[in-house]
Amino acid sequence: MKTLADFNFEGKKAIIRVDFNVPLDDQFNVTDANRIEAAKPTIDKILKDGGSVILMSHLGRPKGVEAKYSLKHIVAKTAEVLGVPVKFASDCIGEIAENAVADLQSGEVLLLENLRFYAEEEKGDVAFAEKLAKLGDIYVNDAFGTAHRAHASTTIIAQFFPEHKCFGMLLAKEIESLNKVLNNSEKPVTAVLGGSKVSSKITVIENVLDKIDHMIIGGGMTFTFIKALGGKIGNSICEDDKMALALEILEKAKAKNVQIHLPVDMVAADAFSNEANTQIVDVYNIPEGWQGLDVGPKSLEALKDVIKNSKTILWNGPLGVFELDKFADGTITLGNFIAEATKNGAFSLVGGGDSVAAVKQFGLEPKMSYVSTGGGAMLEMLEGKTLPGIAAIEN
């Protein structure tokens, strides 16, 4: 795996694919700079070597050139995070970009305009990738969030740097953390899979079964399993067409000696609302008109020892509707169990949009070994797929 450590950037122009697709408010202020902060170590190393940095990213889903998606809105915040002035080129290819790069001195940073102002970016257009490649001496991919897309700037561009391409620190850390869970994990290994649908996690489940000892199932997909096992689930969410699949998963797990942990009780509500009436019910007997929105206290008690005794923990998906305060307890308690296990030496990897949002919301992020920055990319790696953005550097 070629990383930044394999290159000295002195006098070199590094063109870096970053993921600066950050949220903006109505005044175009950055409301969450996490993704910019995540790229800082890579940029710092190149500048420290005496190189210069050309940053390229997308922002939003523009249809052609749309002012509201201009990366000029994030220049000030990027400069603030990096602690150095940031220059801006109002185009990402052609004369404007080339002139801006020609003027760039060692130790300077240039941000290019939104790549997706060109349809060629998402199409993976070779000619467009070549125009981007002209701008730099070394290509660095540090955008895990887009590594599963074969776009011009994430994948195709790499072919123009046969010897001079590498992973940035963030992307290298993502690959390393996922490999640690999937291929070099210390046992026992526990996977916590939550979220609403079995269908969206089925390939992940099938790929990780050979690598884990325990699987904790939570969130809305619980009810597809419970109904398949003959339980009464009231008005709870369920994928009826996936019930046979749920039983198949349980059989496969048994054959591979993987212990499956389903909730035994639920916090049931008579409406999907913080104002709802609630009661704790047996997971196999949820009354008509009620729906399970969080795991109950007995379930959490049962999970405590499983997590405590794990040496490697993968957490993908919440245990309940944590966005509503009334149903956040299961996810928070689980997070605290994982934090405790991490403190005692376990390796914990959190990934997938909702679980990442949860650990951030409840202040648990610093207590985990690693929190992934890429939802879709991480899921595809967990499914055992080769990501085009990673393959392009490794080839």
pLDDT single digits (tens) 189-216: 999 999 888 888 888 888 899 999 999 9
How many other C-beta atoms lie within 10 A of the C-beta of residue 395? 9
φ, ψ dihedrals at 264, nearest 5°? -105, -25
- Which residues is 167 bridged to in the sheet? 3, 141
124 is in an annotated binding site: no
94 is in an annotated binding site: no
Q: 386 vs 104, which has greater pLDDT?
A: 104
Question: What is the per-residue pLDDT for 212?
Answer: 94
Mean pLDDT of 79-97: 98
- Which residues is 361 bridged to in the sheet? none
Q: What is the pLDDT of residues 22-59, one digit of tens each?
A: 999 999 999 989 899 999 999 999 999 999 999 999 99
Given this structure, which CATH class describes domain 4-171? alpha beta
How many other C-beta atoms lie within 10 A of the C-beta of residue 44? 15
pLDDT for residue 68 is more than 90: yes
Report the C-alpha gap between 161 and 138 in whole angstroms.
7
Report the C-alpha gap between 243 and 225 in whole angstroms.
6
pTM of model > 0.95: no
354 is in an annotated binding site: yes
347 is in an annotated binding site: no
Mean pLDDT of 83-91: 98
Q: What is the mean pLDDT of the chain?
A: 95
Question: What is the per-residue pLDDT for 82?
Answer: 98
Note whether 268 and 291 are within 8 A (CB).
yes
106 is in an annotated binding site: no
Q: What is the pLDDT of residues 242-272, one digit of tens each?
A: 999 999 999 999 999 999 999 999 999 999 9
Question: What is the per-residue pLDDT for 368?
Answer: 96
Domain 185-382 is found in CATH 3.20.20.100: no
Three-state DSSP state, 115: helix
Q: What is the pLDDT of residues 115-160, one digit of tens each?
A: 999 999 999 999 999 999 999 999 999 998 889 999 999 999 999 9
Q: How does residue 184 score in pLDDT terms, banded at 50, 70 and 90?
A: confident
Fold match flag (4-171 vs 185-382) = yes
Mean pLDDT of 17-25: 95
Question: What is the per-residue pLDDT for 11?
Answer: 97
Choose among 211, 158, 161: nearest CA to 188: 211
Note whether 216 and 190 are within 8 A (CB).
yes
Q: Where do the domains of the chain lie?
A: 4-171, 185-382
Measured CA angle at 208 (ends 330, 370), to 5 deg: 60
Mean pLDDT of 323-336: 96
Report the C-alpha gap between 125 and 127 in whole angstroms.
6
Residue 41's alpha-carbon distances to 44, 171, 229, 339, in angstroms, are 5, 11, 49, 25
Mean pLDDT of 353-365: 89
87 is in an annotated binding site: no
| Antiparallel, parallel or unpaired: β 265-269 and 278-282 | antiparallel
Report the C-alpha gap between 54 and 74 in whole angstroms.
15
Residues tagged active-site: 35, 197, 353, 376
**For the residues of 151-220, what is the DSSP string, one character each?**
-TTTTGGGGG-SSSEEE-HHHHHHHHHHHHHHTSPPSSEEEEE-SS-STTTHHHHHHHGGG-SEEEE-GG
Q: What is the pLDDT of residues 269-320, one digit of tens each?
A: 999 999 999 999 999 999 999 999 999 999 999 999 999 999 999 999 999 9
Q: How does residue 353 score in pLDDT terms, banded at 50, 70 and 90?
A: low
Report the C-alpha gap between 101 and 108 in whole angstroms.
10
